Amino acid sequence: MSAEEILQELRQWLERNGGFFHSQVRLKQGFESYWNQVDSGFSVVASENLPADSKIVSCPFALVITKDLALGSLSTLLHSTARDLANWSERQLISTYLSFHWIIGDDESSKNLLRHFPYVKSLPTLDKLRTPLHFTQAELELLKGSNLYGATLDRQREWQAEFEECRSAVSTVNREWADKFTWELYLTAATHLSSRAFPSTLVSRNLTLTSPGDPEPILLPGVDSLNHARAEPVSWVQSYLGSGPVPDAGSCISLVLHNPVTAGAELFNNYGPKPNAELILGYGFSLPNNPDDTIVLKLGGPQGGRWEVGREARGADPVWDSVLSAVQCDEGSEPSYEDHLDAADALAHMAQQLLDKLPEVSIFTPHGAREDVALMIRHYIEGQREILESLIQYAEAKEWHGEIPAVET
Ligand SMILES: C[S@@+](CC[C@H](N)C(=O)[O-])C[C@H]1O[C@@H](n2cnc3c(N)ncnc32)[C@H](O)[C@@H]1O
């Protein structure tokens, strides 16, 4: 099947199930030319001028992939009770559910349990994915000394352990399935989830009710087909029909773009203000000079904590307060001029140490690294460097603004 046919099938499947893509938009394989990054999947383009507030795509609730949908299908397939799988995370359930489409295949017998084949087939293949879990060893080395390096190793360990647990459960039921259930398959599915997830609050009955805890990730086929543009004005609109806990047929989630779009232009969703570390780790792309970049700072000790500082030292004040109270000799009293000097010195020293640890970014693509990956890493490291430099300037400014004791006469 060609890429065009796969996208056509996705569109028809959405329509058969009560969803749609706007009649004046076209799905196309690859990005519009200017991305300068990897061609990691498809994009949505306007075939005619679209007015402001156009509804671009709509996904019926019946096609939404939730943890519960995955749990229901897997319990039947694995002859397990839902309780056996109840300790699986959302990622384990949804990634295993997606993987099973490839393990069992697109045949009649599994159609009721694995209902997302046209969607799964349209998702980018392993070779197109670019999160750090898909980096070569040489590419990973380029991150050494940055927070993202540690975060990548942690994620690799965590996902691999989850996969082993899922595979071993499958293996007790069917060895042939377990043989087909490879790490690459699981990694691909888990990356699809991390790079396309929406919050489960979108499908809850009362959007205004904040449910306790973090929302779960869910997949919205079709709605997830637009690439990201920072600060793009969009709305994710819920239409929940009926008043019971189970939505009536016709309930759906739609994506509305508030800006008009000219014919031929790509249409964008807005994934929210995310720093490059998060875009790279979860999605496999970066934005140059990303204004939402942050660096995570952790301080030990009783005044310690974890903070995110952004460009131009945005969010540095609580770090400063913590450092200041850590250096203060006389606890409980007003910090002295010397305390300010010591705190400024300690903060600048800490930022300088982190700066020294950061890897060098060459404008040339290092040997063994792919160009698109090297570019992503450059965007990220440059952002980290600029934030740390701004933090040093912030500390220097604090030093000057520390109150100078009046000269005794
Ligand atoms: C939700 S999907 C969007 C549709 C995607 N192009 C596809 O074919 O599946 C998210 C993925 O699209 C790509 N992407 C989205 N926005 C991007 C951007 N601004 N620059 C580069 N890649 C982007 C990344 O690979 C990301 O993981």
pLDDT band of 210, cuts 50, 70, 90: low
Tens-place pLDDT, residues 132-160:
999 999 999 999 999 999 999 999 999 99
3: pLDDT confidence band, cut at 50, 70 and 90?
confident
Check pocket membership of 191 for ligand 1, CB cut-off 6 A. no
Lowest mean pLDDT among 192-201, 210-219, 246-255, 311-320: 210-219
- Ligand 1, residue 123: give the atom nearest the CA: 9
Looking at per-residue pLDDT, the higher value among 325 and 301 belongs to 325
Residue 84: per-residue pLDDT: 78
In short, whether 40's Cβ falls inside 6 Å of ligand 1 is yes
pLDDT, average across residues 101-108: 89
Any ligand 1 atom below 6 A from CB of 37: yes
Pocket lining: 225 vs ligand 1, CB cutoff 6 Å? yes
Atom of ligand 1 nearest to the CA of 37: 21
Q: What is the CA radius of gyration of the chain?
A: 25
The conformation of residue 191, written as its DSSP 8-state character, comes to H
Classify residue 50 by its DSSP letter: B
* Domain boundaries defined on the chain: 3-272, 293-401
Q: What are the tokens at 224?
A: 């997830």
Q: Is the pLDDT of residue 341 over 60?
A: yes
Phi, psi of 310 (to 5 degrees): -105, -170
Digit-coded pLDDT (tens) for 344-356:
999 999 999 999 9
Q: How confident is the model at residue 248 (pLDDT cuts 50, 70, 90)?
A: confident
- Which atom of ligand 1 lies at the shortest distance from residue 41's CA? 8
Query: Which atom in ligand 1 lies closest to the alpha carbon of residue 43?
Result: 6
| Closest ligand 1 atom to Cα of 283 | 27
What DSSP string runs through 290-351? -TT-EEEEEE-STT-EEEEEEGGGTT-HHHHHHHHHHH-SSTTSPP-HHHHHHHHHHHHHHH
The proportion of the chain whose per-residue pLDDT surpasses 70, expressed as a percent, equals 93
Region 392-406 average pLDDT: 77
- Ligand 1 binding pocket includes 221 (Cβ within 6 Å): no
pLDDT at 211: 59
Residue 367 CA, ligand 1 centroid: distance in Å = 26
Site to probe by mutation for ligand 1, drawn from 228, 276, 279 as the one with most ligand atoms within 8 Å of Cβ, is 228
> What's this model's pTM, rounded to 2 decimal places?
0.93
CA atoms within 13 A on the CB side of 385: 14
Q: How far is the CA of 256 from the centre of ligand 1 (A)?
A: 18
Q: How far is the CA of 194 from the centre of ligand 1 (A)?
A: 11
pLDDT at 31: 66
Q: Is the pLDDT of residue 406 over 60?
A: no
pLDDT of residue 408: 57
Residue 208: band (very low, low, confident or very high) from pLDDT cuts 50, 70, 90: low
Q: Is the confidence at residue 209, as pLDDT, over 70?
A: no
pLDDT greater at residue 301 or residue 16:
16
Residue 204 is predicted with a pLDDT of: 86
Question: Is residue 283 in contact with ligand 1, taking CB distance under 6 Å?
Answer: yes
Higher confidence at residue 392 or residue 332? 392
Angle at 179 between CA 178 and CA 183, to 5 degrees: 85
Task: Evaluate whether the domain defined by 3-272 bears CATH number 1.10.10.60.
Answer: no
Give me ligand 1 centre to Cα 74, in Å: 28
Candidate of 283, 286, 287 to mutate for ligand 1, largest count of ligand atoms within 8 Å of Cβ: 283
CA of 31 to the centre of ligand 1 (A): 9
With a cut of 60, say whether residue 90 has pLDDT above it.
yes
Which pLDDT value is given to residue 361? 82
C-alpha of residue 227 to centroid of ligand 1, in Å: 5
Assess whether pLDDT exceeds 80 at residue 299.
Answer: yes
With a 6 Å cutoff on the Cβ, whether 35 touches ligand 1 is: yes
Tens of pLDDT along 26-68?
Answer: 998 876 544 455 565 789 999 999 999 999 999 999 999 999 9
Highest mean pLDDT (candidates 324-338, 342-356, 388-402): 342-356
- Would you state the pLDDT for residue 29? 84
